Protein backbone atom coordinates (compact mmCIF):
# COMPACT_ATOMS: atom_id res chain seq x y z
CA UNK A 1 0.00 0.00 0.00
CA UNK A 2 1.23 3.48 -0.82
CA UNK A 3 1.92 6.09 1.82
CA UNK A 4 -0.91 8.65 1.93
CA UNK A 5 0.21 12.27 2.30
CA UNK A 6 -2.65 14.72 2.93
CA UNK A 7 -2.26 17.80 0.71
CA UNK A 8 -3.95 21.19 1.05
CA UNK A 9 -4.20 23.48 -1.97
CA UNK A 10 -3.83 27.10 -0.86
CA UNK A 11 -5.85 29.82 -2.64
CA UNK A 12 -2.93 30.96 -4.84
CA UNK A 13 -2.27 27.31 -5.80
CA UNK A 14 -5.77 26.71 -7.15
CA UNK A 15 -5.82 25.44 -10.71
CA UNK A 16 -2.23 24.19 -10.74
CA UNK A 17 -1.46 20.53 -11.38
CA UNK A 18 -0.93 18.45 -8.26
CA UNK A 19 2.61 17.17 -7.64
CA UNK A 20 3.15 14.32 -10.09
CA UNK A 21 5.88 12.00 -11.32
CA UNK A 22 7.19 12.32 -14.85
CA UNK A 23 7.39 8.53 -15.22
CA UNK A 24 6.22 5.52 -13.24
CA UNK A 25 9.79 4.87 -12.06
CA UNK A 26 10.54 8.45 -10.98
CA UNK A 27 11.36 9.05 -7.30
CA UNK A 28 10.36 12.72 -7.22
CA UNK A 29 7.08 14.54 -7.67
CA UNK A 30 7.32 17.77 -9.67
CA UNK A 31 6.50 20.94 -7.75
CA UNK A 32 5.12 23.92 -9.65
CA UNK A 33 5.45 27.66 -9.18
CA UNK A 34 2.34 29.31 -7.72
CA UNK A 35 3.23 32.83 -8.85
CA UNK A 36 0.47 35.18 -9.95
CA UNK A 37 -0.92 34.52 -13.44
CA UNK A 38 0.50 36.96 -15.98
CA UNK A 39 3.31 38.10 -13.69
CA UNK A 40 6.74 36.57 -14.23
CA UNK A 41 9.24 36.26 -11.44
CA UNK A 42 12.84 36.90 -12.54
CA UNK A 43 15.91 35.60 -10.76
CA UNK A 44 18.96 37.52 -11.93
CA UNK A 45 22.35 35.79 -12.32
CA UNK A 46 23.72 35.22 -8.82
CA UNK A 47 20.30 35.95 -7.32
CA UNK A 48 17.98 33.76 -5.30
CA UNK A 49 14.31 33.82 -4.40
CA UNK A 50 11.70 31.88 -2.45
CA UNK A 51 9.16 30.47 -4.90
CA UNK A 52 5.70 29.59 -3.55
CA UNK A 53 4.07 26.28 -4.54
CA UNK A 54 0.56 26.97 -3.22
CA UNK A 55 0.65 23.66 -1.31
CA UNK A 56 0.84 22.49 2.29
CA UNK A 57 1.21 18.83 3.25
CA UNK A 58 0.96 16.67 6.36
CA UNK A 59 3.80 14.18 6.09
CA UNK A 60 3.20 11.07 8.20
CA UNK A 61 5.43 10.53 11.24
CA UNK A 62 8.67 8.71 10.54
CA UNK A 63 9.01 10.46 7.16
CA UNK A 64 10.31 13.73 5.74
CA UNK A 65 9.92 15.65 2.51
CA UNK A 66 13.05 16.42 0.50
CA UNK A 67 12.90 19.34 -1.94
CA UNK A 68 15.45 18.60 -4.66
CA UNK A 69 16.63 20.33 -7.83
CA UNK A 70 15.39 19.45 -11.29
CA UNK A 71 18.38 18.31 -13.31
CA UNK A 72 17.12 19.92 -16.52
CA UNK A 73 17.01 23.38 -14.90
CA UNK A 74 20.50 22.89 -13.52
CA UNK A 75 21.96 21.73 -16.84
CA UNK A 76 20.22 24.17 -19.18
CA UNK A 77 20.02 27.30 -17.04
CA UNK A 78 22.31 26.86 -14.00
CA UNK A 79 19.28 27.09 -11.70
CA UNK A 80 19.10 24.84 -8.65
CA UNK A 81 17.64 24.52 -5.16
CA UNK A 82 19.94 26.53 -2.90
CA UNK A 83 19.57 24.39 0.24
CA UNK A 84 19.37 21.07 -1.61
CA UNK A 85 17.84 19.01 -0.39
CA UNK A 86 15.49 21.25 1.52
CA UNK A 87 13.89 19.34 4.38
CA UNK A 88 10.17 19.40 5.20
CA UNK A 89 9.67 17.99 8.70
CA UNK A 90 6.64 15.82 9.41
CA UNK A 91 5.22 18.39 11.85
CA UNK A 92 5.45 21.38 9.44
CA UNK A 93 2.09 22.52 8.09
CA UNK A 94 3.01 25.74 6.29
CA UNK A 95 3.34 26.31 2.57
CA UNK A 96 6.08 24.46 0.72
CA UNK A 97 8.50 27.07 -0.58
CA UNK A 98 11.42 26.40 -2.90
CA UNK A 99 14.58 28.49 -2.61
CA UNK A 100 16.02 28.74 -6.12
CA UNK A 101 19.40 30.25 -7.02
CA UNK A 102 20.51 31.25 -10.48
CA UNK A 103 24.13 30.22 -11.09
CA UNK A 104 23.64 30.86 -14.82
CA UNK A 105 24.74 33.80 -16.94
CA UNK A 106 21.23 34.95 -17.94
CA UNK A 107 18.16 36.04 -15.94
CA UNK A 108 15.86 33.08 -15.23
CA UNK A 109 12.14 33.67 -15.71
CA UNK A 110 9.55 31.75 -13.69
CA UNK A 111 5.91 31.70 -14.75
CA UNK A 112 2.83 30.25 -13.08
CA UNK A 113 2.80 26.47 -13.31
CA UNK A 114 6.49 26.05 -14.21
CA UNK A 115 8.05 22.92 -12.74
CA UNK A 116 10.68 24.26 -10.35
CA UNK A 117 11.77 21.37 -8.10
CA UNK A 118 11.07 17.78 -7.08
CA UNK A 119 9.57 16.50 -3.84
CA UNK A 120 10.70 13.12 -2.50
CA UNK A 121 9.04 11.61 0.57
CA UNK A 122 11.56 9.50 2.49
CA UNK A 123 11.62 7.42 5.65
CA UNK A 124 13.63 8.83 8.55
CA UNK A 125 15.53 6.49 10.86
CA UNK A 126 14.94 7.09 14.55
CA UNK A 127 18.19 7.00 16.49
CA UNK A 128 19.81 7.96 19.75
CA UNK A 129 23.36 9.23 20.13
CA UNK A 130 25.62 7.41 22.56
CA UNK A 131 28.85 9.08 23.71
CA UNK A 132 31.87 6.74 23.51
CA UNK A 133 35.58 7.14 24.20
CA UNK A 134 36.62 5.66 20.83
CA UNK A 135 34.89 4.81 17.57
CA UNK A 136 35.27 1.51 15.76
CA UNK A 137 38.08 1.39 13.20
CA UNK A 138 37.19 1.58 9.49
CA UNK A 139 39.22 1.33 6.29
CA UNK A 140 38.62 4.99 5.49
CA UNK A 141 39.29 6.29 8.98
CA UNK A 142 39.23 10.09 9.20
CA UNK A 143 39.92 10.64 5.49
CA UNK A 144 37.74 13.54 4.40
CA UNK A 145 37.03 15.38 1.18
CA UNK A 146 38.69 13.74 -1.81
CA UNK A 147 40.15 10.89 0.21
CA UNK A 148 38.45 8.11 -1.75
CA UNK A 149 39.97 8.64 -5.19
CA UNK A 150 39.89 12.30 -6.22
CA UNK A 151 43.39 13.67 -5.82
CA UNK A 152 45.16 16.83 -6.92
CA UNK A 153 45.22 15.62 -10.52
CA UNK A 154 41.41 15.28 -10.65
CA UNK A 155 39.13 12.25 -10.87
CA UNK A 156 40.83 8.95 -11.52
CA UNK A 157 40.00 7.08 -14.71
Write out the H or E segment, with its range, that includes residue 31: strand 29-32
Per-residue pLDDT of 81-118, as tens digits, reads: 999 999 999 999 999 999 999 999 999 999 999 999 99
The three-state secondary structure class of 74 is helix
What is the CA 107 to chain-centroid distance, rounded?
A: 21
Query: Which residue, 10, 42, 60, is CA-closest to 111?
Result: 42
Query: For the chain, which domains are there?
Result: 7-155 (2.70.40.10)
Per-residue pLDDT of 132-148, as tens digits, reads: 999 999 988 888 887 77
Amino acid sequence: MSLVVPLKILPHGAGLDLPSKGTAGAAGFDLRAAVTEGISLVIEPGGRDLIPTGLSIAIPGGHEGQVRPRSGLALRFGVTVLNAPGTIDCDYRGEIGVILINHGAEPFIIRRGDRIAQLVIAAVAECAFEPVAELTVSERGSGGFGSTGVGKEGPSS
